[in-house]
């Protein structure tokens, strides 16, 4: 039980770090693929936007589930407290 609760608590951080690393990696990859400074900059920006959309589609469900879990815990705590 302890390990599963720890995994649930750390899941939000793992997803957040994974999304940021995805964006950083996409910018670096797009920057190195471009030709010249401005071409590289535009390539980095385009790659970052595309990777951001892909990361939102992939990880978005997990983020929503974590938010639902937090809301349910809050509702249960409010119902359990007298008053």
Q: What is the pTM of this model?
A: 0.75
pLDDT, residue 83, reads: 61
Task: Name the token pair of 23.
Answer: 């964006």
More confident residue, 2 or 67: 67
DSSP assignment of 6-42: HHHHHHHHHHHHHHHHHHHHHHHHHHHHSSHHHHHHH
What is the span of the domain harbouring residue 22?
A: 2-78
In a domain, 72, yes or no: yes
In a domain, 83, yes or no: no
pLDDT in tens, 2-44: 888 788 778 888 888 999 999 999 999 999 988 899 999 999 9
In a domain, 27, yes or no: yes
pLDDT, residue 51, reads: 95
Number of domains forming the structure of the chain: 1
């Amino acid at each position: 039980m302890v390990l599963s609760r720890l995994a649930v608590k750390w899941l939000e951080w793992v997803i957040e770090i994974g999304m940021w690393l995805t964006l950083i990696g996409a910018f670096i990859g797009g920057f190195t693929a471009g030709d010249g400074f401005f071409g590289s900059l535009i390539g980095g920006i385009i790659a970052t936007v595309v990777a951001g959309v892909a990361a939102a589609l992939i990880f978005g469900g997990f983020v929503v589930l974590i938010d639902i879990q937090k809301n349910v815990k809050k509702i249960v705590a409010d119902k359990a407290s007298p008053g």
